Structure 1
Amino acid sequence: MDTRFSEDFELEGEPEREFHPGIAKRMAHKTVAAGAVIRDPDNRILFVVPNYKPYLDLPGGIVETGEPPSEACRREVLEEVGLDLSIRRLLVVDWTPGRGPWSDQVQFVFDGGVILAGTQLRPQASELTGVRWSSLADAHLRASLRRRLSLALTALETGVVLHAEFGHLLNTP
């Protein structure tokens, strides 16, 4: 149990018990992911180059059981590129359907801030072949990630958290 939430767990009371055992295990379980939009002073975005898929991605990854998305984002950014960032505000929540080997996901995109040019990055060799700084227009991305990042950049400008499905905006600022 996360000790930051111990008082909240106490206020919630005893965990619910199933009236019909096994129902909870039969319910759908989605993957949750969290990534950070990290920029340089020239407004280029930091992308990771995964060794397990053909497109660039944001630094971030899968949220572990019992882990808040913001903490997962911080942990994954540290693991993937060696940056121990204070993860800032939420920019976008996006649902993506399952495709190929990947289940459907709820993806949280956070503001990772601006880092100085020349900041030392250490790509995680077991998952990445490197990192790349790029504008959104020039990055080799899946269409859904391009849409999601476009929304994230809008959220940075407007200060409004955006809700999307497959990178398509569901609310308007």
Structure 2
Amino acid sequence: MSSEEYDRTLPRKRVAAGVLFFDPEGRVLLVDPVCKPLWEIPGGAVEWDESPRAGAVREVREELGLEWEPGRLLGVDWRGERPGRSEGLVYVFDGGVLGGDRLAGVRLQAEELGAMEFVAVNRVRERLVERLAVRVEACVRAREQGLTVYMEHGVPV
């Protein structure tokens, strides 16, 4: 079997990239997508032949209107298959602090987002689905410790 033939037998996984932006007080930026009932962090699906880092840059530009250079990788979360969704990998990058001029440069794209708000880390569970809240909390801890965290279903392994 050739390498090309073998490659075609391998599973394909969904890949997404998200970004944690903070305000000067350490609160996390959450966004309200117009197509979903619950809040999320900025980011989305990585496109074909696009790296997770490049996907994060594109999604931030599309959603927030920001030209931005990603910080370090905070975490990778493997999500198993569930009803209606294949398994996937989610990469979370450090967006740094959005304050002053950077925050003034945010332009929510109306077709993508209805609102944004900085939320204290201990309150993200009030806005996010459980799996995303756990992922955000783990990535915030990793940022504080200067680490990168690997997760499965949002739980550090």
Shorter-normalised TM-score: what interval?
0.7 to 0.9
Deviation at 1:27, TM superposition (A): 4.0
TM-score between both structures, scaled by the size of structure 1: 0.80
C-alpha spacing 1:102/1:125, structure 2 compared with 1 (3 Å): farther
* Count of matched residue positions in the alignment of Structure 1 and Structure 2: 152
1:162 matched to 2:145: no
**In the alignment, what sits opposite 2:33?**
50
Following superposition, the deviation at residue 91 of structure 1 comes to 0.5
Identity %: 36
Q: Which moved more, 1:104-113 or 1:115-124?
A: 115-124
Task: Verify: 1:62 aligned to 2:49, yes or no.
Answer: no
Query: Which residue of 2 is the match for residue 12 of structure 1?
Result: none
Q: Structure 1 residue 100: deviation in Å?
A: 4.4
Q: CA RMSD in A?
A: 1.9
AA matched with 2:22: R
Moved over 4 A (4+): none
Q: Which amino acid aligns with 1:165?
A: E
TM-score (normalizing by structure 2):
0.88
User: Which structure dedicates a bigger proportion of its chain to helix?
Assistant: 2
Unpaired segments of 5 or more residues in structure 2? none
Within a 5 Å distance, the mapping from 1:12-161 to structure 2 comes to 16-18=3-5, 24=8, 27-117=10-100, 118-139=103-124, 140-161=127-148
